[in-house]
Structure 1
Amino acid sequence: MDIDSLRSFLAIVDTGSFTRAAAQIHRTQSAISMQVKRLEEELGSPLFDREKRPLSLSFAGQRLVSHARRLIAGHDEALDAFKREDTSRPIRLGCPDDYAESLLPQFIKTLRSQVGDQTFDILCASSTRLRQRLDRGELDMAIITRSPDSDEGWLLKHDKGVWVSGSDTDLVHRRPLPVALFDKNCKFHATALDGLGKFGIEVDLVTFTTSASTLKGLARANLAISAMASGSVPPDLQIIHDAHLPPLPAVDIVVVTASRSHPLITPSAVSQLSHTFLTQELPQASLA
């Protein structure tokens, strides 16, 4: 029998209500109703007498209660034992390449101060690909750019997109304009190209890539201008302040976790991590 379904069943038993059980275990009432229905189909008996008020257990439901409590207790005991043994494994962390130099070191420093001297297995990829890896259980957590109109993850930093160049500031006036951008999954890619098109600027797209090092290298060599988050701009590149270039969007950088993550990556640990980063951002925001 499915452990989550048994948890929902016991929540109904303990609260005496589908509605209260749904609120306590943070599921919809329809979701736990479906779980109970699957249990009833598996056992071949109704678990509640739905004709009575208040809600009461059927004979089969009464029999299941003690079994469910033992099954869940055994499941949790086994899981806790393995989790205790598994805390030494590396934390699998994903991060877009453009945040690897600017944000990632402080992220790791802060997290290690909370969970101990853990080893990190780090994968750099676009936010879209990191979400896919999380869904497949191949990562424990990831730093990503939040999707538009989404509340996903725990906020780390508010940032904005900027245009950058190397030492040749006249490059911005060249036509067609040589541009190097992050790949098509990046929020800045489509915005930059669409905006340049609306401004009537012909573009020479030199490259699109997931590599921040490539974009910075091309900008340093005065082969192209680029677009990136302001917090990712290194000291040797210049932010272009030119009204003839289209504005780039603001971004929220967040941390998201897998549904089954590393044992040390708990909601409270990630919440504290978010609070620390936002506190660090406050002095910068007050100066803006």
Structure 2
Amino acid sequence: MALLINLPTDLLRTFITVVELGGHSKAGAALGRSQPAISLQIRRLEEMVKAQLLVQEGRIIQPTPAGEALLSYAREMVRTNDEAVNYFHRTDRSGVLRIGLPTDYAVAFLQNTLTGFMQENPAVELEIHCDLSRELHKKLRSEELDMIIATMNNPRLPYLSRSWVEQPIWACAESYVPDPDRPVPLGAHLEGCDYRSRMIDALDGAARRWRLVYSGPGISGLQNAVQNRLCVTALTRATLLPGMRELTEDEGFPRLEPLRIGLFYKHPRLTAAGLHLVSELVASLESVGSGVAKVSLG
């Protein structure tokens, strides 16, 4: 029978905190321990897994390849532990929780998981910030937001908890008939939007002319423009409204490159309410999307 080793959650929590906060001193301050105590815990964990987990590059501490692999499991194990503890301490869920969402996801998530969370946790005040994904990542790093859902161009971005793939689709009004002799009338979010760049790349790659006729930051304005036949655009299926239809390759609209989306947060900075919401989001994502990747943790 193979020897089973139990990895203590306190060691895993220390490891996560060192990585996410960028050093032993900051981790010690966050966890209420001295720097030598933090170093000792990391050494104990390295002895248990028989691998070096951290390496210092200049003044920056980075996980080794083995550390990155362990980080994936550690985040999930600590999250599950905290979810179990929070189940018996539900009265501790209070305060303000700042969530960042890309504009096209705001509608779907607000109407489902976030709305349910607010109803079940009236003592928690949610602040929803909608922006371009690149801005959301910046705000998470600077701790202006507690958690974000955002697109990711790099599969190894920090603070990643879950990732999944979305396939954008071309959307138009039901009565819209494409004219191959005229430029495609495009509607898009502002410059820097991943959907916008994918539409332009796809049309340019197919040598299809286009012109931008609508640009705005909000999903509802873009949906309204599509429904009124002002433009065509790229959406997720969740944001395809009645009165719209999907445009096909046979109509001259090439397949759009898929997007990888991630759920990101700094575990050491989250309150009990935040950890509970992460669990709710993870459960929601796993229930609606087969493309949700449990292995893309880190």
Match of 2:129 in 1: 123
Q: What is the RMSD of the two structures over their aligned residues, measured on CA atoms?
A: 3.8
TM-score of the two chains, using structure 1 as the length reference: 0.66
Alignment partner of 1:176 is 2:183: yes
Q: How does 1:1-288 map to 2 (within 5 A)?
A: 2=25, 4=27, 7-13=34-40, 19-20=46-47, 28-30=54-56, 88-109=94-115, 111-112=117-118, 118-150=124-156, 153-155=160-162, 158-171=165-178, 173=180, 175-243=182-250, 244-258=252-266, 261-265=269-273, 270-271=278-279, 273-282=281-290
Report which of the two structures shows the higher radius of gyration computed on alpha carbons: 1
Structure 1 residue ranges without an equivalent (≥5): 36-83, 284-288
More deviation in 170-179 or 210-219? 170-179
| Distance change >3 Å, CA 180–CA 203, structure 1 → 2 | same
| Distance change >3 Å, CA 260–CA 235, structure 1 → 2 | farther
Deviations 1:253-281 (A, max 9, x none): 33212466441255575245313421233
| Distance change >3 Å, CA 272–CA 98, structure 1 → 2 | closer
What number of residue pairs does the alignment pair up? Answer: 233
Deviation at 1:93, TM superposition (A): 1.2
Identity within the alignment, %: 18
Distance in 2, matches of 1:108 and 1:222, equals 31
TM-score of the two chains, using structure 2 as the length reference: 0.64
Deviation at 1:222, TM superposition (A): 0.7
The AA in structure 2 aligned to 1:101 is V
Distance in 2, matches of 1:261 and 1:14, equals 20
| Distance change >3 Å, CA 261–CA 232, structure 1 → 2 | farther
Conservation of the 8 A alpha-carbon contact between 2:27 and 2:38: no
Structure 2 residue ranges without an equivalent (≥5): 1-23, 62-89, 292-298
Distance in 2, matches of 1:263 and 1:120, equals 13
Conservation of the 8 A alpha-carbon contact between 1:159 and 1:231: no
Conservation of the 8 A alpha-carbon contact between 1:12 and 1:18: no
The AA in structure 2 aligned to 1:207 is Y
| Distance change >3 Å, CA 156–CA 103, structure 1 → 2 | farther
Distance in 2, matches of 1:154 and 1:172, equals 44
